[in-house]
Structure 1
Amino acid sequence: MTATREIVAAYYAAFNAGDTGAMLALVADDLRHDVNQGSPRRSKALFAEFNAHMTRCYREELTDMVIFAQGNRAAAEFVVNGTYLATDEGLPEATGQTYRLPAGAFLSVNDAGLIERITTYYNLSDWLRQVGA
């Protein structure tokens, strides 16, 4: 297992454990977080705010995880199994709906062994359909 793969696997294990502190310990201060909806976040602090928001609105577990790594780059494919806990601004009302959504991510790890980029993709239309929009 490469160092990059180990770091990415640890990041997603922390995600599944709901351990935001452990996730943040694995990302660089100048992290670039790209999502397929919205503007990139460009700091660890903004990523921490995003995680706090996500924890309030969603409970998610990633399954069927496959991680590929080469050099300092990695790709992960997984299924998001979630519950919509609290209404997220601009999205349908949350009533505890559950969803199962295929997703993927691309990550880069810097020379210090910290994740410096996370780019996540999922099908928002599929999620909206699943939560009854």
Structure 2
Amino acid sequence: MKVLLTLLLALSLPLSALAQEKKEEAEGENAAPKIIYVGIVPALVGNYSSGTKMKFYKADISLKVTGSEAEEKVKYHEPLIRNQLVQLFSQQTDESLGSMDSKEKLRQEALKQVKQVLEQEEGKPYVEDLLFNNLILQ
């Protein structure tokens, strides 16, 4: 009888481990999508015109995406995204960068352009938000 109980216990252990593994997989599938912040590295540095003087900017930017697929797509297209953002920043003036409202408009325009790039290249915008970690104007 002891042998039979030991044999049943030995056979049931792998089944219980398999059931636990299936349960963990199901919980992983039901979990909320993972939010990832993809930094545009190195920071964008360039100049913009302010009348007769050239001024400089440095922008540390992060893109908010959901899931590893979106992260991979953003990283793959980073050179194109970077180019679009550099062009946008170089078109700015003191007036378009002078206040918090104007910086917010710039952030929204940058997000719009990043989404357009990804939509053209991948058919899906992938990026949910664009954040200025640091924006220095000189």
TM-score with structure 1 setting the length: 0.30
Find the structure with the greater CA-based Rg: 2
Q: Which has the higher strand share?
A: 1
The structure that is helix-richer by fraction is 2
